[in-house]
Structure formats: C-alpha cells, structure tokens
C-alpha cells in the first residue's frame, strides 16, 4: 500500500515521490546536509539544518557541557570536544 500525503496528491515519476507544487509537507521527503559536519540526514521538522543537537551547539558555539562543580575546572570541556570529533569528525570548511 502506498503512503499518502495528507496535504496534496502525491505522484511518482520514475519511481520518485513528487509532491504538488507548494505542498507544505514536501520537506518530509528531503535529504539535507548538516551545516556543521556535512552528514546527510532526514529532517524531523521544516526548519532543521543540523543532524543533531551537538552539531547545532558547535555551529553556534553554544556551551553544551558544564562542569559539575562551578568552582573548579575538571577538564570536562576538552573531553566533550574529543567526543564531538570522534563522533562527527572535523567540520567541513566553507570555501
């Protein structure tokens, strides 16, 4: 059974799902490239530009890891950076 789009009449051209022009749900079938790491992903909402929260935080330089004790630096931030590099590699540079 074929999936239906609740917002338009979907048709298939050469096996590719095609929404009507202006369909508000057409983004659901897109594959996007993460702005930070370049990984391809399927978006969960219309405005999603990053594959996960870690890439979003890195792109916008959001502090995502806080040491448990604010009074002392336990080096946790550098471990978080190593984890991001291990999981996602280095970001692609724009040319």
Tokens of 44: 């969960």
Classify residue 1: in a domain, yes or no.
no
Per the structure, the complete domain to which residue 83 belongs is given by 26-88
Classify residue 17: in a domain, yes or no.
no
Classify residue 41: in a domain, yes or no.
yes
Containing H/E element for 54? helix 53-59
Classify residue 50: in a domain, yes or no.
yes
pLDDT band (50, 70, 90) for residue 41: very high
Classify residue 5: in a domain, yes or no.
no
pTM more than 0.85: no
pLDDT per position as a tens digit, 51-91: 999 999 889 887 655 555 555 555 557 777 777 777 776 66
Tokens of 63: 């502090």
Classify residue 72: in a domain, yes or no.
yes
Report the domain count for the chain.
1
CB 51 within 8 A of CB 62: no
Classify residue 33: in a domain, yes or no.
yes
Whole-angstrom distance, CA of residue 40 vs CA of residue 31: 6
């Amino acid at each position: 059974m074929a999936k239906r789009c609740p917002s338009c009449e979907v048709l298939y051209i050469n096996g590719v799902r095609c929404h009507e022009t202006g369909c508000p749900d057409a983004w659901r079938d897109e594959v996007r490239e993460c702005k930070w790491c370049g990984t391809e992903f399927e978006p969960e909402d219309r405005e999603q530009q990053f594959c996960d929260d870690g890439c979003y935080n890195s792109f916008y330089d959001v502090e995502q890891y806080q040491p448990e004790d604010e009074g002392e630096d336990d080096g946790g931030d550098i471990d978080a950076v190593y984890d991001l590099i291990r999981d996602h590699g280095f970001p692609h540079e724009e040319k």
